[in-house]
Amino acid sequence: MSETENPVGPFRSWVGAAIAGGLGLFFYGFFQLLAGQFAVAKVLPNPLANRLAALVRSALLAVAAGGTMVFGIIALGLVLLGLQKVLMGDRQNPQA
């Protein structure tokens, strides 16, 4: 590792985990808001409009659920990386 490179430390990992966790919580709240609003949505008289509305609802819920999952996994990984850095220290692997 060169001297100009900044290694990732536990504090930096935990700050990233807090940011990713915040984004995950945002997407979770967005998911809850969408699910609540779609649950009380009125049924439209046109069958084609109903199908399109269901498609858009499903797509929006999938994006919100996916964002929640992705940012949650990223936050968990960064927390574990920070713990690994604390427990293992700054050991350098020998170059093979």
Q: What is the pLDDT of residues 34-72, one digit of tens each?
A: 889 888 888 888 999 889 988 999 999 999 999 999 999
**Cβ–Cβ < 8 Å for 75, 24:** yes
Whole-number average pLDDT of the chain: 87
What is the distance between the alpha carbons of residues 46 and 29, in angstroms, rounded to a whole number?
31
pTM exceeds cut of 0.85: no
**Cβ–Cβ < 8 Å for 13, 79:** yes
pLDDT given for residue 41 in this prediction: 83
**Cβ–Cβ < 8 Å for 7, 1:** yes
